[in-house]
Amino acid sequence: MLDIVSMENKWRDYWKKNNVFKFTKGDKNFSIDTPPPTVSGKMHLGHAYSYPHQDFIARYKRMKGYNVFYPWGFDDNGLPTERYVEKTRNVTIENTPLGDYIEICKEESKKAELELADAWYSIGLSASFNDYIDTSSDFSMKMSQKLFLDLARSGRAYRAEAPYIRCPTCKTAISQIEMKDAIIDTDLVYVNFDGIEIATTRPEMLGACVAVFVNPGDERYKNIIGKKIKVPLYGNEVPVMSDESIDMNFGTGAEMLCTFGDQNDLELWRKYNLDSRIILKNDKLNDSRYLDNIGIKEARKRIIEELKKNNYIIKIEKIKHSVNTHERCGTPIEIGISKQWYIKDLDIKKELLEFGDKIEWIPEYMKTRYDNWVNGLRWDWCISRQRYFGIPFPVWYCNKCGTIIYADEKDLPVDPRLVNKNIKCPACGSDDVQPERDVMDTWATSSISPTLYLTHINSMDMYPMDVRFQGHDIITSWAFTTILRSYLHYNKIPWKKIAISGNVYDPFGQKMSKSKGNIVEPKDIIEKYGADALRFWGSTTMPGENIKLREQDLVRGKKTVIKLYNSLNLLKIISGGKIQGDINIIKSPVNKWIMSKYEKTVREVTGYMDAYEVMKARSALDKFFWSNYCDNYLEIIKNDNEEYRNENIAVSYLIMENVLKMYSPIMPFITEELYHEIHPDSISIALEKYPEYDDKYLFNEENDIDYIISVINSIRALKSSLKISMAAPIDSLNITGDSEKIGRYGYIIKNLMHINNIKITSGENININVIQ
Ligand SMILES: Nc1ncnc2c1ncn2[C@@H]1O[C@H](COP(=O)(O)OP(=O)(O)OP(=O)(O)O)[C@@H](O)[C@H]1O
């Protein structure tokens, strides 16, 4: 009996011990830009589904003779890791000195990485786990800071005091990349604005109102455009202006513009160069009148009370409203003004779209998401975060003359927050300097993953990499920022192809995600069905398709494992454990038939694997293996004429080992086990050569035997309708059909179906009946 769990454990240990998947650079390399998972929780079924997609191709390419560079990494700097560490170690920046806080984050993420690496390795990935990189290491910090300095020197990275997107919960700037639309329940407050009714969801921002906007086509307000009206409570006068973007059907069709109530306010403010009245800073409102440094909710309550008291409120409606939120915590974002670091990208949309066109997208339709994103960019990329565990900016500011002081490249990596000695302003010579306290957005480092991976092995000559694998959930973040950085630093695409996986959803239709906590860990499934079966499930969708866990796929996967095991055992019985014979000249029609089918399967499977269509490759292989090879071929040779014995053994083993090879990228454990039974001296099936299509083995007999198989299937149907076993003998059978073929190959039918006599009648259709 096959003990799947111990068998898989054995090969996990073996691969690791023998460093089977070590990359050695050669003439024919293939490189993969692996997604470094964030260190923010446990590995889950989403990963167990999408990471095998890379591994299928890595293993396939290795067998096709490539030196496969399949690196491993962890993204362990930034907000997700901070949150994870704060929870696990019960620390906060408020109760821990910065240096200690960073050390604790490093210590805890290292510990988590070792566990995560084990979890990822358990699904049989052939990546370089022994030598992984992490984005908070000195190496990554040095590279990230160096590339930042390059951008700063060329003016691509700049610091500016400007409106920025802020998450009030995470208390940091975020970028457009991290925003998500959400529908929230809120109050729509109708206010009497100097005789005009205005509806707003942000009454607390009244003190920041600098204009009222209407649609130029709105007859109701035609006469007041260009006039000034008084803001209730505050009494200041603001202009009434018009813009096509105003939705006549929302509220009363007249809107107040505040600096800044939302992104539309910001855009109109920019477009018409309006005044600013900033009352919201770092999530507190202060208007020196009604609001004294208080939070948003409280401020809203207070202003509504004041408006009510002064009879300005007409009505309040409960509505569902679409807002921008921070994707990580779901909090509606705010727009403030402060100094942040940006990477300028709004001016190069055309170039970024062209770069997208140069990359092959699998599936192709996923490119639309990238194109839409680039077309819809409205902000330069804000890369500073008011957080702590991240790559620090290698920057100080001179307190005397305001010069930005950049670190010397030879001093990288550097954390200016912790090292402040011997820094002098190059402009005025003052040593009165202060460090930049912000850290970089985590995408600012993961976006240079091809550089990190290739520099790590000293092989930037392999740039661009061959392929990036990732989920569609991060096209607008990871894929976009990587293409952007690659354009800015090298004017090259980062990879030739990008292969996009779908997402695994929880039963409530939400993407499974570490930080959301709605996860199922793969370990119980591996215990019950095996990692091969789990990977099989990963091969049941087309590229980019979303999926839920389907138990029937795990069952099918496990059945395939057992079927492979049983077939080899049957072969051992048929051959008496001795592999003999050769396939140079094939005589048996059945062997000619199976060889033709086999060659066509090799051609089909290879074509699909080359196109990254693993699901179609596996289906073609399943069909050949289950139906042609097991149900028919092995059954026929079990009872075949003695004269073909050696040839049968040679052909059946040849096909068996090549079937194992073709299954091995998908199910590496069982195929390794069985291949070693046939070839105990092999280091690994993963390092063997993938079968090559050879038209020498295509024979005309294929069609004849196909016909005989149809006759056999009709006899099987008859036996089952008579409720007799397939092995039960039948004395005499009348077969109507192609008498020439049935006559020539009748011995196959008789042997396989245990029939003593066959009477043949000519006829167009196959018809079977027992002669009593
Ligand atoms: N539910 C999922 N289904 C399929 N792939 C996923 C899923 N979640 C993450 N991935 C993929 O795994 C890779 C690493 O993702 P990551 O570590 O960010 O996972 P995550 O669970 O989304 O984490 P977090 O919640 O911290 O964002 C990415 O390529 C991502 O697309």
Q: Would you list the domain boundaries of the chain?
A: 20-74+123-148+444-538, 172-335, 394-437, 551-694, 704-770
User: CATH: 3.30.360.10, 3.90.740.10, 3.30.1490.20, 2.40.50.140. Which one for 172-335?
Assistant: 3.90.740.10
Annotated binding site: 514
Instruction: Report pLDDT for 20.
Output: 96
Instruction: Report pLDDT for 550.
Output: 87
Alpha carbon nearest to ligand 1 atom 23, residue: 514
Q: Does the domain formed by 20-74+123-148+444-538 have CATH 3.40.50.300?
A: no
> What is the distance in A from the centroid of ligand 1 to the CA of 423?
41
Q: Please state the pTM of the whole predicted model.
A: 0.88
- Stronger pLDDT, 772 or 102, i.e. the higher one: 102
Instruction: Report pLDDT for 580.
Output: 76
Task: State mean pLDDT over 385-399.
Answer: 95
> What is the distance in A from the centroid of ligand 1 to the CA of 506?
13
Task: State mean pLDDT over 613-618.
Answer: 97
DSSP, collapsed to helix, strand or coil, labels residue 638 as helix
Task: State mean pLDDT over 139-144.
Answer: 98
Give the residue ranges of DSSP H helices in 21-123.
Answer: 45-63, 79-89, 98-122
Please give the number of the atom of ligand 1 that sits closest to the Cα of 473: 31
> What is the distance in A from the centroid of ligand 1 to the CA of 513?
6
Annotated binding site for ATP: 514
Please give the number of the atom of ligand 1 that sits closest to the Cα of 38: 17
How would residue 584 be classed by pLDDT, with cut points 50, 70 and 90? confident
Task: State mean pLDDT over 582-604.
Answer: 94
Alpha carbon nearest to ligand 1 atom 21, residue: 513
Looking at domain 394-437, which CATH architecture does it have?
Single Sheet (2.20)
Alpha-carbon distance of 423 to 407, in angstroms, equals 9
Within 10 angstroms of residue 497's Cβ, the number of other Cβ atoms is 17
Ligand 1 pocket mutation pick from 514, 521, 545 by most atoms within 8 angstroms of CB: 514
Residue 216 has pLDDT above 90, yes or no: yes
Question: Cα-flanking dihedrals φ and ψ of residue 725, to 5°?
Answer: -70, 160
Alpha carbon nearest to ligand 1 atom 12, residue: 47
How would residue 582 be classed by pLDDT, with cut points 50, 70 and 90? confident
Please give the number of the atom of ligand 1 that sits closest to the Cα of 474: 31
Task: State mean pLDDT over 266-285.
Answer: 91
Residue pLDDT, tens place only, 314-342: 999 999 988 999 988 889 998 888 899 99
Please give the number of the atom of ligand 1 that sits closest to the Cα of 75: 17
Please give the number of the atom of ligand 1 that sits closest to the Cα of 471: 31
Ligand 1 pocket mutation pick from 32, 39, 47 by most atoms within 8 angstroms of CB: 47
Type of residue found at 60: Y
> What is the distance in A from the centroid of ligand 1 to the CA of 394?
30
Ligand 1 pocket by C-beta < 6 Å: which residues? Answer: 35, 37-38, 40, 46-47, 49-50, 80, 470-471, 473-474, 501, 503-504, 511-515
Which tokens is 580 given?
């003999």
Alpha carbon nearest to ligand 1 atom 15, residue: 37
DSSP, collapsed to helix, strand or coil, labels residue 316 as strand
Asked whether the beta carbons of 369 and 417 are under 8 A apart, the reply is: no
Percent of the chain with pLDDT over 70: 100
Residue 579 has pLDDT above 80, yes or no: no
Element (H, E) at 182: strand 179-193
Domain boundaries 551-694, corresponding CATH code: 1.10.730.10
187-209 residues labelled b (16+ CB within 10 A) or e (exposed): ebbbbebbebebbbbbbbbbbbb
> What is the distance in A from the centroid of ligand 1 to the CA of 663?
26
Alpha carbon nearest to ligand 1 atom 14, residue: 37
Q: What percent of the residues of the chain are helix, what percent strand, and what percent coil, each to the nearest 5?
A: 45, 20, 35
Alpha-carbon distance of 1 to 10, in angstroms, equals 16
Task: State mean pLDDT over 720-743.
Answer: 93
> What is the distance in A from the centroid of ligand 1 to the CA of 499?
15
How would residue 9 be classed by pLDDT, with cut points 50, 70 and 90? very high
Contacts of 249 (CB under 8 A, 6+ apart): none
How would residue 754 be classed by pLDDT, with cut points 50, 70 and 90? very high
Alpha carbon nearest to ligand 1 atom 6, residue: 46
ipTM of the complex as predicted: 0.95
Instruction: Report pLDDT for 540.
Output: 94
Alpha-carbon distance of 512 to 497, in angstroms, equals 26
- Stronger pLDDT, 769 or 452, i.e. the higher one: 452
Secondary structure of 422-449 as H, E, C letters: CCCCCCCCCCCEEECCCEECCHHHHCCH
Please give the number of the atom of ligand 1 that sits closest to the Cα of 502: 4
Ligand 1 pocket mutation pick from 174, 513, 518, 550 by most atoms within 8 angstroms of CB: 513
Asked whether the beta carbons of 325 and 181 are under 8 A apart, the reply is: yes
Residue 641 has pLDDT above 80, yes or no: no
Asked whether the beta carbons of 629 and 655 are under 8 A apart, the reply is: yes
Residue 682 has pLDDT above 90, yes or no: yes
DSSP assignments along 473-521, one per residue: GGIIIIIHHHHHHHHHHHSS-SEEEEEEE--BB-TTSPBP-TTTT----
